[in-house]
């Protein structure tokens, strides 16, 4: 049963929160953010994937499908927990308050977390030790492998696992046993950081629930090749005898990309997943639902059919479509977790099999208003073409801000938007928000950048650009009471306070 209550919310990754430590975290600024959301009558908070980021700092290329990002751990909360003194937070990095400078932040956070780990070890049998042991017991299905993976990666200077010594890359048992003994302290530290992350996230989520807000999490369909899961479970992925991908993920050529997009993520060996009842996916789904109330499946169309690109191909032109067992996977997830609310990110060129898969399982799909104004009244992104089981965005993390989009769009698109909205375009960010909020879609969301009416300088990600992404932060003082009042009024008038009678979609399977 899918909840179709009319709701509204904001897309903001925790790294974009303000604060003195160079990157947003799960501490006081996050609690202030939740309080502001509640004041603005929002009932949804969408985050990007929360996993530990690797090269390029992208949340969508995480080092693990299960672990949390240590960069989001709050130093303030470590002081409150007695794991650090206030003096041990100095010297703080001298960084921009508007951008995450990842290099400096990573070095600083590593030092802070190592000091907290040494304090933790000096405490002996403390409540923290008991918490760590319980966490390891509950999460052992992924945590043992991730801790070893992260310790080895640090030991080899951050190099990807396929560049490690062969016996460790291929997980020869005796080599792993020797490394586990040699790196015992580092493995312990990695586990401790995961305990800290989960403890702080759970504390924040309790505050979120008390405020009547639901969290929308994000699960990328594919994993990074340099991830703990691919290293630890090579049999689940399309790898050759050397551990190299035979085929990789991507999308075919289209109007926007004449050579397609070659993402490079390893593809799943779906027959192996089906053979054991999708056990790995079930663990992944349970983990995701432990962190959020809703789960957005990124690249949902890959569950109906995926574009298979030979790993030797430099572009995605030579790929082919291959059917995926999406219905069997979703059925398995529903049987073992009937309260698993999913949102299908079904953007891009959609075929009948994708639509059938989404509607068969009663999943809301996505619409982005920036794609709506091509002059065709049948455009599925125009609100008059929506169904209720829809999640509408003014834009996503991959788009320009609403203001930036409008200022750079062709005049024909701008003219269509002005005429459809009946507005002059002088406040396009809020015009698009009003259009989304007043639509029939069950959920309406906007990036915080649009609430703040910011331009292209506040864009979060430029797809295809290797560097300079994921670093935007808002400033202290941006979230004013007047802004909360304006957003709350829009939300109330649109009937999106989450207080309406709940309606549901019946299961169709």
How far is it, in rounded angstroms, from Cα 359 to Cα 294?
Answer: 17
Coil/strand/helix, residue 20: coil
The two three-digit tokens of residue 143, written as one number: 């945590």
Count the alpha carbons within 13 Å of 418 in the hemisphere toward its beta carbon: 13
Whether the CB-CB separation of 444 and 437 falls below 8 Å is answered with yes
> Count of residues for the chain?
509
Q: Which long-range contacts (CB under 8 A, 24 or more apart) does 425-434 make?
A: 427/453, 428/402, 428/403, 429/394, 429/401, 429/402, 429/403, 429/453, 429/454, 430/490, 432/369, 432/370, 432/394, 432/395, 432/402, 433/394, 433/402, 433/490, 434/490, 434/494
Residues noted as catalytic: 298, 345, 398
> CA gyration radius for the chain?
23
The two three-digit tokens of residue 362, written as one number: 């009663």
* DSSP state letter for 87: G
DSSP 443-487: EEEEEHHHHTT--GGG----TT--SS-S-B-PPTT-S-HHHHHHH
The two three-digit tokens of residue 271, written as one number: 């027959």
* Residue 220: its H or E element: strand 214-220
How far is it, in rounded angstroms, from Cα 23 to Cα 21?
Answer: 6
């Amino acid at each position: 049963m899918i909840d179709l209550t009319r709701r509204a919310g904001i897309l903001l990754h925790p790294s974009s929160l303000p604060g003195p430590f160079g990157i947003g975290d799960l501490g006081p600024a996050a609690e202030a953010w939740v309080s502001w959301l509640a004041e603005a009558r929002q009932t949804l908070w969408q985050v990007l994937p929360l996993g530990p980021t690797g090269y390029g700092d992208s949340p969508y290329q995480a080092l693990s499908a299960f672990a949390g990002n240590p960069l989001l751990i709050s130093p303030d909360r470590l002081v409150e927990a007695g794991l650090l003194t206030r003096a041990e937070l100095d010297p703080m990095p001298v960084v921009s308050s508007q951008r995450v400078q990842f290099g400096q932040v990573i070095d600083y956070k590593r030092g802070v977390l190592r000091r907290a780990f040494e304090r933790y070890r000096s405490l002996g049998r403390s409540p923290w030790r008991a918490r760590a042991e319980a966490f390891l017991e509950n999460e052992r299905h992924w945590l043992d492998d991730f801790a070893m993976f992260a310790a080895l990666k640090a030991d080899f200077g951050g190099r990807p696992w396929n560049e490690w010594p062969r016996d460790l890359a291929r997980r020869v048992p005796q080599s792993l046993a020797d490394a586990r003994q040699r790196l015992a302290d580092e493995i312990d530290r990695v586990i401790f950081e995961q305990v800290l992350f989960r403890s702080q996230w759970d504390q924040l989520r309790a505050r979120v629930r008390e405020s009547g807000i639901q969290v929308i999490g994000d699960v990328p369909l594919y994993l990074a090749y340099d991830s703990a899961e691919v290293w630890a479970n090579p049999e689940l992925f399309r790898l050759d005898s050397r551990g190299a991908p035979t085929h990789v993920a991507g999308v075919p050529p289209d109007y926007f990309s004449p050579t397609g997009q070659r993402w490079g993520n390893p593809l799943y060996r779906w027959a192996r997943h089906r053979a054991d009842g999708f056990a790995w996916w079930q663990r992944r789904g349970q983990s995701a639902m432990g962190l959020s109330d809703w789960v957005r499946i990124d690249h949902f169309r890959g569950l109906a059919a995926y574009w298979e690109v030979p790993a030797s191909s430099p572009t995605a032109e030579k790929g082919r479509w291959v059917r995926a067992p999406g219905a069997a996977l979703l059925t398995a997830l529903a049987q073992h977790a009937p309260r698993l609310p999913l949102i299908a990110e079904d953007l891009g060129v959609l075929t009948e099999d994708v639509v059938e898969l989404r509607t068969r399982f009663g999943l809301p799909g996505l619409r982005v208003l920036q794609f709506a104004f091509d002059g065709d009244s049948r455009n599925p992104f125009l609100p008059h073409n929506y169904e209720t089981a829809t999640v509408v965005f003014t834009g996503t993390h991959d788009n320009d801000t609403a203001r930036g989009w409008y200022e750079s769009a062709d005049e024909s698109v701008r003219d269509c938007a002005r005429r459809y909205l009946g507005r002059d375009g002088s406040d396009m960010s809020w015009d698009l928000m009003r259009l989304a909020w007043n639509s029939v879609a069950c959920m309406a969301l906007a990036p915080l950048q649009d609430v703040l009416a910011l331009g292209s300088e506040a864009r979060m990600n430029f797809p295809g650009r290797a560097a300079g992404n994921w670093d935007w932060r808002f400033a202290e003082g941006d979230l004013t009471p007047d802004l909360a009042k304006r957003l709350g009024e829009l939300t109330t008038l649109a009937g999106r306070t989450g207080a309406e009678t709940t309606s549901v979609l019946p299961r169709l399977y």
